[in-house]
Amino acid sequence: MNPEYSEKQRMAPPPYSSSEQPPGPPPGFYPPPPGPVPVQTTTVYPATVAVVTTNVAAMGSQPSHTFCKSCHQDITTVIRHKATTKTHLFALLLCIIGCWPCAWIPYCVDSCHNVDHYCPHCNAYLGSYLN
């Protein structure tokens, strides 16, 4: 080690020679004007949530008074009974236990059917009542 250099000189980078200049700013670069630095503000708006409420009537086993979403009228629904898997299983069970002459009964009992509700004006499906 050379004793003529102080600790500060050893830590500093070597000086540039006259032929070696530090790189300048790129073309088109303009330094900021002197003075206070402008503060950039960002406004954050809360998310907008749309809540859609509909007038849903409880569909029962009887015709219901409701609002049709298709034709936009106040109506009383038309009902249609529809046999379900439960209906077929009851009929099969009656056949298995030996009451095959009574296998037709579940197809005549409304409690073994689902009730589908329809609009009387536009025939749109509105919902079901599941037994």
- Render pLDDT for 26-53 as a digit per residue (tens, 0 to 9): 777 777 777 776 677 777 777 676 665 5
Q: Residue 78 falls within a domain, yes or no?
A: yes
Q: Residue 82 falls within a domain, yes or no?
A: yes
Please answer whether residues 59 and 126 qualify as being in contact, where contact means their C-beta atoms are separated by less than 8 angstroms. Answer: yes
| Radius of gyration, CA atoms only, the chain | 42
Distance CA 79, CA 120 (A): 9
Beta bridge partners of 116: 80, 128
Task: Tell whether the model's pLDDT for residue 54 goes beyond 60.
Answer: no
Query: pLDDT value at position 111?
Result: 85
Q: Residue 47 falls within a domain, yes or no?
A: no
Helices (H) and strands (E) in the chain, counts: 2, 5
Residue 114 phi, psi (nearest 5):
-85, 150
Counted domains in the chain: 1
Q: Residue 59 falls within a domain, yes or no?
A: no
86-119 pLDDT, tens digit each: 999 999 999 999 888 889 999 998 888 999 999 9
Q: Residue 101 falls within a domain, yes or no?
A: yes
Q: Residue 102 falls within a domain, yes or no?
A: yes
Q: State which residues form the domain around 87.
A: 65-129
